[in-house]
């Protein structure tokens, strides 16, 4: 009962528009107590405590009765009459909402529908018609008791009829609405059509929504680490990544994304449970069983069965279906219609498949048996269609050659190997907004995709999301750090040269020396800060979800300015101090090598004082500027709903504006703030000199060099430019226009879009390309992948 009590308390708090902190203040309870009640971790439930919280939330009589019933059940006490509907509450419709939350839910539904309609078109699901996806009821040991699925009260299960789960692709939304618990598991082997089914389910739900329907949102659950993030926090994080406008704040202080989840307005469609790291699936299933929210979960059967066995429980309250194989009649209806007459001459539409279908019907040869087994899943049928229906020079009859393909596995590997070369031999689809399409060399495209696929495999778990801001992570940490040092040093050196030559008319030889000294020292300081931020800042280099907003340019629901300023000031203060220390060291080196001052105790003492002064000047100035910059930030608007390309463009624009604002602000705060810091330090360390000319020079170099270094080393867009647009292309691992290449791969059907990230069309294609790359590169060790992903042994 604790999970139901917690769900109800979260819903009531969301209706009241309060954060946990505000509810704690009103109820005179601790935040820890409220958090334990809402997460179901509290075991000592007390009626007085819950009544205090109910008073603070201004709960009505019906909800108080429900709280009392759930509290009695959680405490093990005899509750009200078991036949009463409050004893075992159904998930029920979400509470009615108004205002910003209702608008956000409506806009989320519209954006999700637009996105997945576009994705279905890219996957050519309707060309020429959807492959049939059918299912049967999942085995009883992988689903919950029928009484629990229907959420029947205690003692009312005798003679209960089973939930009707019969249907096909066209009726999946209707079948789901017939599940009282709102929880459903979709099982199937690799390539069996689970993704097609989830997309169709989502679109059908949104096409004709019932008044109380939640907004279905597809989440690729493979990236979830249940030991690090709770399900609720992970869902909120994914919503913020894929829908940046949900960073807007509601009156309670939480984001719109968090408010939507807390108000039970989102239906999570969790795709790819089997892609969770093998060692985490048990914890993931237990975490899913710790909440009672309605959800849809897809998985390969074997991986899900292993998790059920390890957790000693299925997904609670969930009905289940298992997808079945395609039939020979399905192939005979589909494949001939994919072969266009113009591509294959005058033999008639589909004639290219006649011999193959004839052999499959006979089923007498080993080749036909193997091919029939392979073409039993939509994935392999689509690969075969791509290679043979759309490539006139290839004959599908070769698939029956047992000398070349002695096993079903060999046939699958052949289809996987031929997919990428086939799609890249064709002319790329036109795009009206980007001019003429690029046509990439198939061999080089396959190598680049293989590099990306290889580096999505990790020793402990495999990544499925191909995020543009994470591509640079394929390089070693030392290489990334070296890139930061070089780029930051170059930015500061060039800034010193530009400021000295054009503003102060210093000779070129002098400025070259000054820049050569300041650049490397500043680069090392920036590198040290980058190392610390990268190690301890979990989300340090992820894309920003805000834009710069000039005063009067519209406000929306902003952040809390004082709290944001304090957090930003504290974070930047230490980094600025380290960079200031590096600047002081650079000035000392300049005096030693340029003015030829001897290294004496006085010089060392002066250097230490300068390190303190410059550290405080740069730290306080940077903290102040970045804190004020936070006041100019506003959430991205609705038009900025994230796709990989739109998120990259919005981040590029944001970073450019930040640089234009940072450079002059840092110059002025360092120049004039330095005088204040020096005046405060003089009583402690003795006379200090901070003239206006020197202050403006140091401020200009620090402002311009610091702004550029920040933009290229401490933002997701800057890391993308430095590593993915320069470093990796220089070494031949990626093309120069990486963004265009990824977008082109998406339009060709090699990649798919899931919110703000790309994914390979199928995990098996990702595995194949990664293995192909490792075989071709002697310097790359094999990655540890899951066993027997193809479904049968080699």
561-574 average pLDDT score? 71
Beta strand pairing call for 266-271 and 295-299: parallel
Q: Report whether pLDDT(612) > 50.
A: yes
Given pLDDT bands bounded at 50, 70 and 90, which one contains residue 559?
Answer: very low
Q: In terms of DSSP bridges, do strands 633-635 and 319-323 run parallel, antiparallel, or are they unpaired?
A: unpaired
Q: Return the SS3 of 415.
A: helix
Residue 468, pLDDT > 50, answer yes
Confidence of residue 401 (pLDDT cuts 50, 70, 90): very high
Given a contact cutoff of 8 angstroms between Cβ atoms, the answer to whether 667 and 576 are in contact is no
Tokens 């539409």 label which residue?
Answer: 349
**450: exposed, middle or buried (C-beta count within 10 Å: 0-12, 13-18, 19+)?**
buried
696 within 8 A of 668, measured Cβ to Cβ: no
Each residue of 711-729: pLDDT tens digit? Answer: 998 888 999 999 999 999 9
Give residue-wise pLDDT tens across range 258-280.
989 988 899 999 999 998 988 89
Task: Provide the token pair at 391.
Answer: 């490539």
**Residue 639: burial class (beta carbons within 10 Å; 0-12, 13-18, 19+):** exposed
Instruction: State the average pLDDT over residues 232-241.
Output: 91
Q: How far apart are CA 241 and CA 356, in angstroms?
A: 46
Q: At 754, which helix (H) or strand (E)?
A: strand 751-754
Q: How far apart are CA 177 and CA 373, in angstroms?
A: 34
The Cα–Cα gap between 566 and 316 comes to 44
Residue pair 264/95 in contact (Cβ under 8 Å)? The answer is: yes
Take residue 417 and report the two structure tokens written for it: 């190997």
Q: What is the predicted pLDDT for the residue at 723?
A: 93
Q: How confident is the model at residue 610 (pLDDT cuts 50, 70, 90)?
A: confident
Cα–Cα separations (whole angstroms), residue 402 to 381, 409, 792 = 19, 12, 18
Q: What pairing do the DSSP bridges indicate for beta strands 319-323 and 183-187? A: parallel
Q: What per-residue confidence (pLDDT) applies to 332?
A: 93
As a whole number, mean pLDDT of residues 304-324 equals: 95
- Give the chain's count of helices (H) and strands (E): 30, 10
Which residues are within 8 A (CB) of 196 and not within 5 positions of it... i.e. 6 or more apart?
123, 125, 130, 131, 133, 169, 378
The pLDDT tens digits for 338-351 are 886 655 554 555 57
Instruction: Check residues 161 and 389 and name the one with the higher pLDDT.
Output: 389
Q: How confident is the model at residue 217 (pLDDT cuts 50, 70, 90)?
A: very high
Q: Is the pLDDT of residue 369 over 80?
A: yes
Among candidate residues 403, 408, 468, 422, the one with its CA nearest the CA of residue 722: 468
SS3 609: helix
Instruction: Return the pLDDT at 416.
Output: 94
The answer to which of 142-156, 510-524, 645-659, 724-738 has the lowest mean pLDDT is 510-524
CB 493 within 8 A of CB 676: no
Which of 211, 213, 49, 197 is closest to 123 using CA atoms? 197
Residue of 285, 270, 120, 129 whose CA lies nearest to 204: 120
Tell me what the mean pLDDT of segment 744-773 comes to: 90
User: Cβ–Cβ contacts within 10 Å for residue 162, how many?
Assistant: 10
DSSP 628-654: HHHHTEEE--GGG---HHHHHHHHHHH
H helices of 188-280, where?
194-207, 231-242, 256-262
Confidence of residue 394 (pLDDT cuts 50, 70, 90): confident
Instruction: Please tell me the predicted confidence (pLDDT) of residue 786.
Output: 41
pLDDT over threshold 70, residue 178 = yes
- Torsion angle, alpha carbons of 379, 385, 387, 393, to 10: 170
Q: How many other C-beta atoms can be found within 10 angstroms of the C-beta atom of residue 631?
A: 16
DSSP at 457: B
Nearest Cα residue to 170 out of 137, 129, 211, 210: 129
User: What does the alpha-carbon distance between residue 146 and residue 318 come to, in Å, rounded to a whole number?
Assistant: 9
d(CA 392, CA 408): 24
- Give the integer Cα–Cα distance in Å for 411 and 404: 9
- Dihedral sign for Cα atoms in the order 2, 18, 16, 268: negative
- For 151, phi then psi, to 5°, come to 50, 50
Q: With bands split at pLDDT 50, 70 and 90, how would you rate the model's confidence at 392?
A: confident
Q: What is the pLDDT of residue 493?
A: 84
The average confidence (pLDDT) of the chain is 80
Q: How many CB atoms lie within 10 A of CB 98?
A: 7
Residues in the chain: 794
Pick 255 or 518 by higher pLDDT: 255
What's the start-to-end Cα distance of the chain, in Å? 47
Position 507 scores a pLDDT of: 56
What mean pLDDT is predicted for residues 153-175? 79
pLDDT tens, 351-368?
A: 789 999 999 998 889 999
pLDDT at residue 536, rounded to an integer: 67
Q: Is the pLDDT of residue 103 over 80?
A: yes
Residue linked to tokens 């930051």: 488
Q: Is the dihedral of CA 92, 93, 95, 100 positive or negative?
A: positive
Higher pLDDT, 7 or 679: 679
Span 574-589, pLDDT tens digits = 777 887 887 788 778 7
Instruction: State the Cα torsion 194-196-199-202 to the nearest 10°.
Output: -70
CA-CA distance, 291 to 304, in Å (whole number)?
Answer: 18
Q: At what angle do helices 692-713 and 477-502 cross, to 10 degrees?
A: 150
Structure tokens given for 110: 């519209």
Q: How far apart are CA 561 and CA 554, in angstroms?
A: 16
Among residues 436, 430, 416, 452, the alpha carbon closest in space to that of 735 is found at: 452
Residue in the block written with tokens 């543009």:
468
Q: Which phi and psi angles does 325 have, rounded to 5°? A: -75, 155
Distance CA 178, CA 150 (A): 10
Torsion region of 77: left, alpha or beta (phi above 0 gives left; psi -120 to 50 gives alpha): beta
Q: What is the mean predicted confidence (pLDDT) over 86-113?
A: 70
What angle do helix axes 763-776 and 408-425 make, rounded to 10 degrees? 90
Beta bridge partners of 187: 299, 322
- The HSE-up count of residue 24 (CA atoms within 13 Å, CB side) is 13
**Distance, CA of 102 to CA of 357 (rounded, Å):** 53
Query: What is the DSSP code (8-state) at residue 143?
Result: S
Q: How many CA atoms lie within 13 A of 507 on its CB side?
A: 4
Q: Which is more confident, 82 or 168?
A: 168
Q: Which residue has the higher pLDDT, 51 or 449?
A: 449
Res. 788: pLDDT tops 90: no
Set out the domains of the chain in order of their start, with CATH numbers: 2-75 (1.10.260.40), 99-152+162-323 (3.40.50), 472-714 (no CATH)
Confidence at 304, pLDDT banded by 50, 70, 90: very high
Strand, helix or coil for residue 666: helix
- Residue 364: φ, ψ to 5°: -95, -25
Check pLDDT > 70 for residue 487: yes
Distance, CA of 127 to CA of 121 (rounded, Å): 9
């Amino acid at each position: 009962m604790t999970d139901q009590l917690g769900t109800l308390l979260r819903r009531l708090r969301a209706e009241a528009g309060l954060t946990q902190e505000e509810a704690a203040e009103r109820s005179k309870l601790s935040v820890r107590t409220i958090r334990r009640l809402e997460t179901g971790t509290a075991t000592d439930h007390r009626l007085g405590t819950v009544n205090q919280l109910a008073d603070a939330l201004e709960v009505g009589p019906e909800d108080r009765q429900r709280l009392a019933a759930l509290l009695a059940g959680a405490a093990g006490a005899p509750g009200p009459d078991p036949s009463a509907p409050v004893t075992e509450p159904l998930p029920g419709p979400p509470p009615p909402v108004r205002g910003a939350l209702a608008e956000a839910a409506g806009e989320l539904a519209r954006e999700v529908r637009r996105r997945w309609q576009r994705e279905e078109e890219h996957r050519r699901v309707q060309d020429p018609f959807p492959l049939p996806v059918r299912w049967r009821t999942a085995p009883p040991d992988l689903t919950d008791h029928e009484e629990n699925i229907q959420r029947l009260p205690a003692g009312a299960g005798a003679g209960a009829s089973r939930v009707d789960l019969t249907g096909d692709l066209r009726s999946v939304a209707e079948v789901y609405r017939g599940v009282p618990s709102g929880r459903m598991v979709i099982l199937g082997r690799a390539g069996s059509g689970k993704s097609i089914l989830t997309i169709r389910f989502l679109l059908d739900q949104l096409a004709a929504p019932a008044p109380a329907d939640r907004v279905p949102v597809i989440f690729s659950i493979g990236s979830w680490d249940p030991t690090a993030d709770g399900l609720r926090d992970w869902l909120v994080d994914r919503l913020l990544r894929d829908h940046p406008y949900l960073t807007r704040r509601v009156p309670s202080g939480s984001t719109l994304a968090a408010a939507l989840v807390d108000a039970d307005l989102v239906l999570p469609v969790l795709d790819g449970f089997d892609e969770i790291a093998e060692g985490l699936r048990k914890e993931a299933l237990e975490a899913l069983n710790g909440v009672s929210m309605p959800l849809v979960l897809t998985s390969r059967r074997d991986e899900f069965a292993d998790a059920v066995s390890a957790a000693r429980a299925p997904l609670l309250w969930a009905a289940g279906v298992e997808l079945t194989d395609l039939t020979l009649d399905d192939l005979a209806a589909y494949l001939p219609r994919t072969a266009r007459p113009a591509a294959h001459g005058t033999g008639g539409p589909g004639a290219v498949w006649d011999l193959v279908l004839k052999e499959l019907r006979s089923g007498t040869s080993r080749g036909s048996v193997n091919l029939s087994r392979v073409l039993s899943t939509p994935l392999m049928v689509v690969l075969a269609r791509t290679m043979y229906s759309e490539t006139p020079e290839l004959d599908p009859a070769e698939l029956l050659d047992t000398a070349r393909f002695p096993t079903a596995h060999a046939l699958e590997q052949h289809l996987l190997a031929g997919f990428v070369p086939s799609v890249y031999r064709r002319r790329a689809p036109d795009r009206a907004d980007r001019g003429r399409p690029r046509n990439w060399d198939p061999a080089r495209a396959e190598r680049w995709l293989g590099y990306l696929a290889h580096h999505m495999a990790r020793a402990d778990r495999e990544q499925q999301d191909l995020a543009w801001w994470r591509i640079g992570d394929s390089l070693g940490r030392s290489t990334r750090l070296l890139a930061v040092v070089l780029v930051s040093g170059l930015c500061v050196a060039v800034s010193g040269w530009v400021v000295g030559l054009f503003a102060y008319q210093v000779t070129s030889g002098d400025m070259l020396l000054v820049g050569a000294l300041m650049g490397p020292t500043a680069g090392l300081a920036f590198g040290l800060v980058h190392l610390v931020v990268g190690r301890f800042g979990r989300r340090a280099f992820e894309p920003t979800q805000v834009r710069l907003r000039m005063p009067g340019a519209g406000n929306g629901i902003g952040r809390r300015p004082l709290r944001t300023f304090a957090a930003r000031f504290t974070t930047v203060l230490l980094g600025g101090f380290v960079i200031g220390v590096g600047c002081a060291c650079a000035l000392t080196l300049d005096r030693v090598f340029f003015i030829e001052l001897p290294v004496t105790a006085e010089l060392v003492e002066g250097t230490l004082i300068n390190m303190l002064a410059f550290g405080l000047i740069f730290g306080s100035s940077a903290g102040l500027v970045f804190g004020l910059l936070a006041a100019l930030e506003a959430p991205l608007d609705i038009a900025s709903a994230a796709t990989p390309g739109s998120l990259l463009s919005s981040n590029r624009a944001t970073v450019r504006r930040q640089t234009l604002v940072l450079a002059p602000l840092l110059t002025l705060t360092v120049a004039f703030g330095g005088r204040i810091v020096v005046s405060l330090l003089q009583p402690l360390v003795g006379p200090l000199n901070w003239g206006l000319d020197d202050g403006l020079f140091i401020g200009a170099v620090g402002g311009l060099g610091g702004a550029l270094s920040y933009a290229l080393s401490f933002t997701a867009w800057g890391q993308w430019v430095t590593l993915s647009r320069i470093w990796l292309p220089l070494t031949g691992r990626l093309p120069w226009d990486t963004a265009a290449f990824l977008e082109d791969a998406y339009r060709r059907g090699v990649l798919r879009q899931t919110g703000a990230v790309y994914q390979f069309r199928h995990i098996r294609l990702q595995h194949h390309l990664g293995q192909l790359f490792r075989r071709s590169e002697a310097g790359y060790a094999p990655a540890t992948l899951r066993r027997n992903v193809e479904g049968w042994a080699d």
